[in-house]
Amino acid sequence: MKRAWLLLALSWPLFVSADIQKWVDSNGQVHYGEQPPEGTRLETIDTSGSNVIDTSDMRRRAKALDKQFESRRQYEKRQRQAQEKQQKKDAVYCQRAKQRLGIYRQKVPVFTTKADGSRDYVDDEERRQVIASLKRKIRRYCH
């Protein structure tokens, strides 16, 4: 029984064949159909063989779209990876800036060690400048 329905469904276009008419209305609009209005100039469109579809062009376009999609997906993946890498770097910079800011805010002497091993102490003005710089870094890197 299923086979009979399948055979009927596949052969239906062979049994049902209607001429399609093309006409232009008074507004210049093109129409297609089986029953045009009375008194219109008609053009009959041959529909024989219209059930055969050439899929080679469709397959070529589908492959091209698949290739574009895959290329876009790879690009977005690289962008996400780069963004994640940058976020990790920013997190490290943020942590370092917060640690240094904590040190500079303390009321203890702060120094840097020179190449010869001697200490170079930071004065109050330099401390204010470093604190301002660290605050800017924290705003930039701490999301």
pLDDT digits (tens, 9 = 90+) for 22-50: 777 778 787 777 777 777 776 666 666 55
pTM of whole model > 0.95?
no
Secondary structure element (H or E) that encloses residue 51, with its range: none
Q: What is the pLDDT of residues 38-81, one digit of tens each?
A: 777 766 666 665 555 667 888 888 999 999 999 999 999 999 99
Q: What are phi and psi of 74, to 5 degrees?
A: -65, -40
Other Cβ atoms within 10 Å of 107 Cβ, number: 4
DSSP string, 58-81: HHHHHHHHHHHHHHHHHHHHHHHH
Reported confidence tier of residue 130, pLDDT bands at 50, 70, 90? very high
